Structure 1
């Protein structure tokens, strides 16, 4: 019996060392060599200072910036420690109220814009951390951003086009615009 217990303990310690120490170290080492930016969180720096991650959404509320998709994480928006959706169903009045408030905020920020509001500017994503919006959602905001920055609309549209990423491998997903990267490009214009 003691021999079986000793074998079980040795096997447990061996498997713990392999799967809990050696494999994670090897996987981390390979990722650092082959994909260092992704392995370190796809961090984005501005003038040597950390500005965020291209994988986690950020809240922008000033009229001179493109706004991200709403976040339902708690206790605050875009909290990566609490990634989740709102879990509000389509028949829940709280979901309708939240959507109406978001539409009202968009209309108030850009009263002359009577175009239909793209859904991702109203509805939170399943993770609550989506860093990207559709090109249509970015174009919806172009005039507000251009007016707030004193820029020509065509220049802001050109920035949106330059920061629009296509489908992955030409077939996966939808075209998208990373809001943090687009807003940093806006700041780089000096306006």
Structure 2
């Protein structure tokens, strides 16, 4: 029978005792201490900042949610949240980044580019709020205003509006003296030079109405987006616009530490306040 060296024999009990002690401290006492401190001093946040209304859990103050009907259409009497790219919307288990950036401007089969997603959202918000949904680098039909020009280097001989499949009329008739074509559904335009066209428009719809947050869980919207929605909400609820504006101000959070970020409005809390205000009037 092989015997362990004397030094190793002495080290094994020490290692076992160390494992047990560290397990008790780091796996038991430390988590209990942290949980105890969190519950004692930060109970609301530690418990998920659950918002209750009439004895029921209606959401979290830290995680956004959709205010849409079963078909995904906005419920017009509620303020709408910003877009979410987390799963089907505000899914805490699907918050991984999509890694789409400013260069993602050309649509591909089955997947609109980030630019087209922004354009489509801006158009939809504009229609909902009764304002212009026009945006730089967007066409009037809500896709990215992007050309592919050929050859990639040198004078332009051909120009294609790649995000507007035929028979749609291209957003631009002529580019550098060349007639702009609509895109053939089976066309290959990879070798062309990508040219986003800005257009001479000013965006009315705020950025947070068309772009998802990094986490996809942001429960807040900008004051500008809340004010854009205020006339619709007041009209749908039969409330005075001034009353809705007052509720927005009441539920506007200031900058973190007084200087970080921008003022923001918690959508869930604002909508609950609207429900309570309407109940009082009735």
> TM-score when scaled to structure 1?
0.93
Shift of 1:139: 0.6
1:90-105 alignment runs, 5 A limit: 90-93=102-105, 94-105=113-124
Within-5 A mapping of 1:99-178: 99-111=118-130, 113-114=131-132, 116-178=204-266
Instruction: Quote the Cα distance in structure 1 between the aligned partners of 2:209 and 2:52.
Output: 26
Aligned to 1:86: 98
* Residue among 56, 59, 63 paired with 1:56: 63
Instruction: Give how far 1:81 is off.
Output: 1.3
Select the residue among 44, 67, 79 that pairs with 1:66.
79
Check the 8 A contact 1:73/1:86 in 2, yes or no: no
Specify the SS of the correspondent of 1:31.
helix
Q: Is the 8 A contact 2:237 2:278 kept in 1?
A: no
Gaps of 5+ in 2: 1-7, 68-73, 106-112, 133-202
2:174 alignment counterpart: none
CA distance in 2, matches of 1:81, 1:178: 21
> 1:20 is paired with a residue of what secondary structure?
helix
TM-aligned CA deviation for residue 38 of structure 1: 1.2
TM value normalised by structure 2: 0.64
Aligned length: 189
- Cα distance, 1:108 vs. partner? 2.0
Gap runs ≥5 in structure 1: none
| Stretches (4+) displaced over 6 A | none
Q: Which has the higher contact order (CA 8 A, sep 6+)?
A: 1
| Residues 85, 125 of structure 1: 8 Å contact kept | no
CA contact (8 A) 1:85 1:124 kept: no
Asked which structure has the greater CA Rg, the reply is 2
**Superposition RMSD in Å:** 1.4
Q: Give the distance between the partners of 1:163 and 1:81, measured in 2 at CA.
A: 28
